[in-house]
Amino acid sequence: MQNKRLDSKNYYYIYGKHPVFSAINNPNRQIENILCTQAIFDTNTKLISSKPYKIVNNDVLFKLVENQHHQGIAAKVKPIFSYNIEDIDIKKPKHRIAILDQITDPQNIGSIIRSAAAFEIDAIILPLDNSPNENGTIAKAACGTLELIKIIRVTNLNSCMNYLKKHGFWIIGLTGEAKDYFNDKLISDKIALVLGSEDKGMRRLVQENCDYLAKIPISNKVESLNVSNAASIIFHSLYPKI
């Protein structure tokens, strides 16, 4: 898995109708080329023809996206992940941020992005190391919502957390090892939620840098939740309070 920062000149392929159509509608997304079948073009002519495009067959698309389910369309795009923590509008009186520590599965990250968009999380922060570059799997799992969430990769999560604290954020780490359950009393106007991977959890220093640790109440018959499922539950708990 690549962990190096993508150069701004690099492109990658997104695929599937929702990711590609959302990218076309995003004025901040640079698209070099769209490749699609004749059938997809005929039913979405106005949208697709607004960008450079080429009609191809399914075999070409399968080779291009390594046999992933492409739904007859793919697009060569520039990444939109940011590398500047200052891209977060700290001055907003209410702010919800998710920090993902050691979550490397693109499917999980894409699912978390989709839930974040559904419940109006403002931004997602990832470490530069131990997280994947922006890629087609993330975009497909996010189902078009990759274009809706500000995603920032930082070199040091602890420095990032300290930056947020200085600007009034209350940082809650979610871990099954916590003594207390997550509840409404922990919610503040500016809150950052830290989620670790299902197998490794949060790194020790990241966990120690949280203001508070909490867990999601689940049946004692189940050891843990998938991190994307846990994120959905927590994001939903914040949504009515916005």
Tell me the per-residue pLDDT of 166-214, one tens digit each, with 9 for 90 and over. Answer: 999 999 999 988 999 999 899 999 999 999 987 888 999 999 999 999 9
pLDDT of residue 1: 31
Same domain, 226 and 149: yes
Q: With contact defined as beta carbons under 8 Å apart, do 74 and 51 qualify?
A: no
Domain of 66, CATH number, reads 3.30.1330.30
- CA-based nearest residue to 104, from 96, 112, 92, 115: 112
What is the number of domains present in the chain?
A: 2
173 phi and psi angles, rounded to 5 deg = -95, 130
Same domain, 147 and 98: yes
pLDDT of residue 176: 86
Last residue of a domain, one of 77, 101, 128: 77
pLDDT of residue 130: 87
Last residue of a domain, one of 35, 58, 77: 77
CA 107 from centre of chain: 10
Same domain, 168 and 97: yes
pLDDT of residue 241: 54
Same domain, 45 and 24: yes
Q: Is residue 39, in this structure, part of any structural domain at all?
A: yes
Question: What is the per-residue DSSP string for 90-135?
Answer: TT-SSEEEEEEES---HHHHHHHHHHHHHTT--EEEEESSSSPPS-
Q: Is residue 144, in this structure, part of any structural domain at all?
A: yes
Q: Is residue 3, in this structure, part of any structural domain at all?
A: no
Q: Is residue 220, in this structure, part of any structural domain at all?
A: yes
Q: Is residue 5, in this structure, part of any structural domain at all?
A: no
Same domain, 73 and 100: no
- CA-based nearest residue to 109, from 157, 145, 61: 145
Name, in order, each residue with C-beta under 8 angstroms of 86's C-beta and a sequence gap of 6 or more. none
Same domain, 26 and 143: no
Last residue of a domain, one of 26, 49, 77: 77
Same domain, 61 and 117: no
Domain with 99, as residue range(s), is 85-241
Same domain, 62 and 103: no
Q: Is residue 2, in this structure, part of any structural domain at all?
A: no
Same domain, 70 and 99: no
Question: SS3 for 156?
Answer: coil
Which residue positions in the chain have pLDDT lower than 50?
Answer: 1-8, 242
